[in-house]
Amino acid sequence: MPETSIIMPAWLERGMVDLFPSGQWGDADQQLATRLDEAREQNRPLRVKLGIDPTGRDIHLGHSILFRKLRAFQDAGHTAVLIIGDFTARIGDPTGKSSTRVQLTSEQIEDNAKTYLAQLGQGQSAEKALLDFTTPGRLEVRRNTEWLADLDLPEVIGLLGTATVGQMLAKEDFGNRYGSGVPIALHEFLYPLLQGYDSVAVQADVELGGTDQKFNVAMGRDLQRHFDQRPQFGLLLPILAGLDGVQKMSKSLSNTVGLNEDPLSMYSKLEKVPDALVSSYVVLLTDLDPEALPVNPRERQKAMALAVTASRHGIAAAEAAQNDAAILVSGSQDDAASVPEALLADVNFPAKAFYLLSALGLCASSSEARRQIKGGAVRLDGEKINDPNLEFTDSSMLMGKVLQVGKKTFRRLTR
């Protein structure tokens, strides 16, 4: 089949940084475009796998890149196979880790899984949800205990026999740890094998992953061949840089935007993203054409922030957030500004300023609150607070006022 007879859909190519294999045109085992064409002719949706290990509770915009691509496959008529790694999470993905991960209990994992699914839109209409949970045939949610918990010792030994120690040490994270003398527990070698076996269990045609997951995705291809299945394609997307513009978006680095953050907080954070990241945020987090953005850097930031916020909360809420952010930044305390509320009911008065920030959850600790205040990052109704020990005798001194931390966090204080 000539190369020009099949064109990769734009929705598929958007944001993609790696697709493998990418061999002979016309071969449905070597070219994803050909397999898509084949599936269309056979009226058979592709099975598109994305595995998530619920080792935490919050999904941020960095995670959402993969879910957005999974949703694009759903909207094109294919079946998303979302694997909740409730078994593999007990091991923990060693990718990007310099030491053995702490193992979670099954109760912790299941609790995290429920919060993940809620954030992805379970129970919501397809129009509002990140994934389509409602259209028949578009989504399978599977837990890998379904097939991994029943593997007996001979089967585990058989899996171990499909890979070598050399292959495992070729994985950068393992190689670095081994070379520096950092211990590698034997059960960590099982992770990529078990994750790869997931592809066998669900008969995946495509697996989505970040660029740091290529080893694991390729392991799935190897195991599918071992079990006489048609190997999947690996489609890799970039790791989203965080708000600092340097390191990957990570809650531990405090550079994230949570998927469920209120519109004002989301918009206020996003409109401060470094200029160099605006185009990548547009490509990876919206359906906008980056070329259609304003040329002026400040206007580009605002257009991106509006689009991303609208994708999560709707255009009306996003526009209201944009307006409220402008009001607050200008120093106006217009009561119409729909600033998220922070409740004073649980604050013990009299309260010092540093304690107030910590008690309201605006700073992770009292020491961080002191640093923010001393750094000039805290304002109350537009007036800078300079003294961490400034004392408020009762809640009436704060009721209805807007507390600001940095350029991105605003809360209206109420009971």
- Where along the chain do its domains lie? 3-237, 261-329, 341-414
Average pLDDT estimate for 57-76: 94
Least-confidence region, from 146-160, 221-235, 342-356: 342-356
pLDDT above 70 (res 335): no
Average pLDDT, the chain: 88
Among residues of the chain, what percentage have pLDDT more than 90? Answer: 53
**336 — pLDDT class (breaks 50, 70, 90):** very low
pLDDT surpasses 50 at 225: yes
Q: Which CATH superfamily is domain 341-414 in?
A: RNA-binding S4 domain (3.10.290.10)
pLDDT of residue 3: 45
Note the pLDDT of residue 262. 87
Say what the pTM is: 0.80
Per-residue model confidence (pLDDT) at position 17: 96
Q: Fold identical between 3-237 and 341-414?
A: no
Is residue 379 scored above 90 in pLDDT? no
Predicted local confidence at residue 303, as pLDDT: 95
Per-residue pLDDT at 200? 97
- Hey, what long-range contacts does 13-18 have (CB within 8 A, 24 or more apart)? 14/72, 14/283, 15/65, 15/69, 15/237, 15/238, 15/283, 15/284, 16/235, 16/236, 16/237, 17/211, 17/236, 17/237, 17/238, 18/211, 18/214, 18/234, 18/235, 18/236
How far is it, in rounded angstroms, from Cα 94 to Cα 190? Answer: 10
SS3 state at 284: helix
pLDDT at position 48 over 90: yes
Q: Please, where are the H alpha helices in 76-171?
A: 106-120, 145-148, 153-160, 165-170
Instruction: Express each pLDDT in 122-132 by its tens digit.
Output: 999 998 899 99
Q: CATH for 3-237, among 1.10.10.10, 3.30.930.10, 3.40.50.620, 2.40.10.10?
A: 3.40.50.620
Q: What is the pLDDT of residue 327?
A: 78
